[in-house]
Amino acid sequence: MSERGERITIPTPSGDVSGVWLRPASPDATVVVAHGAGAGMDHPFMVGFAEALADLGIATLRFNFAYMEAGKRLPDRAPRAIPVWAAAFEEARRRSDGEPVWAAGKSFGGRMASMALAEGAIDPAGLIFLGYPLHPAGKPEKLRDEHLYGLRVPMLFLQGTRDILATRELLDAVAETLPTSTVAWQEGGDHSFAVKGVKRTADEVGAALAPQAAGFIRGRSPRSPADSGRPSA
C-alpha cells in the first residue's frame, strides 16, 4: 500500500510517539485510532481502516503507544497508556476544525480509550471498538467491563462472531445494560476479523469495517461540544 497522510510526532508524558494525520476536505468528524497490543499503527489493518474512513469523509489520526514506539513487545499498563491516549486525542482536537472528535481502537487500543474516558482523560464524542477484549481467551469469568457502565457516549462494538476474547452471549449481555451502545456482529470473524474461507488482505479487512463506523459516527455525532458526554459521576 502507498502511504497517505502526514507523519507527525506527538509529545507525551512517556516520550514522543509517532502518528499519521489524514484529513479529507471538510470532514464530518475526526477519529483517533489506537492499535492493538501486538501490532503498531502501521499494521495494514490499521492503515486500511483509517484510510477507508478518510475516503468516506472522516479525518483520522492513528498513533503508536510508547511501548510500540520503543520497539517493546509487552503493552503498557493503563497508567502509562492512558496519558499517551490523552496526548494523541488532544493533538487531533488541535488539528481539527471544530468537528466532533471520536476515539477508536483495535482490541487493547479500544479498551484503553474507554478507560481513558472513564478516568476523564479524554472526552470523545463517542467510542468505536474494533474487537473489544471483553475477557482473556478461555477465561470468560474475568470480564473487563466494570468501567464501561459509567460511560454515556455512543459506543459501537464491531465484533467477530468467532472472537475468543468476547463470546457473543457475554458481550450481548453487557451491551444490553449500556443504553448508548450498539453491537454490530461480523459473521464468521475472529478477533482479527478474518473469516474462514474468505481471502482478504489485512488492509481490506480493516477497510471493510469503515462504512459501519462512518455510518454510526454520522448518525450520532453531537452538533456541539456541549452535547458530548463524560462519564457520569
Residue 177: phi and psi, rounded to 5, are -95, 0
On whether the 6-227 domain is CATH 3.40.50.300, my answer is no
pLDDT at 109 exceeding the cut of 60: yes
Domain ranges in the chain? 6-227
Q: How many CA atoms lie within 13 A of 112 on its CB side?
A: 27
Q: What is the DSSP string of 185-203?
A: EETTB-TT--BTT----HH
For residue 63, the 8-state DSSP code is E
pLDDT at 225 exceeding the cut of 60: no
Judge contact between 54 and 64, C-beta under 8 A: no
pLDDT band at residue 90, thresholds of 50, 70 and 90?
very high
Report the alpha-carbon distance of residue 47 to residue 44 in Å, rounded: 5
pLDDT at 66 exceeding the cut of 50: yes
Q: Give the global pTM.
A: 0.91
Tens-digit pLDDT profile for residues 121-176: 999 999 999 999 999 998 999 999 999 999 999 999 999 999 999 999 999 999 99
pLDDT at 222: 54
Radius of gyration of the chain (CA): 16
Report the alpha-carbon distance of residue 66 to residue 80 in Å, rounded: 8
Tens-digit pLDDT profile for residues 177-221: 999 999 999 999 999 999 999 999 999 999 999 999 999 999 986
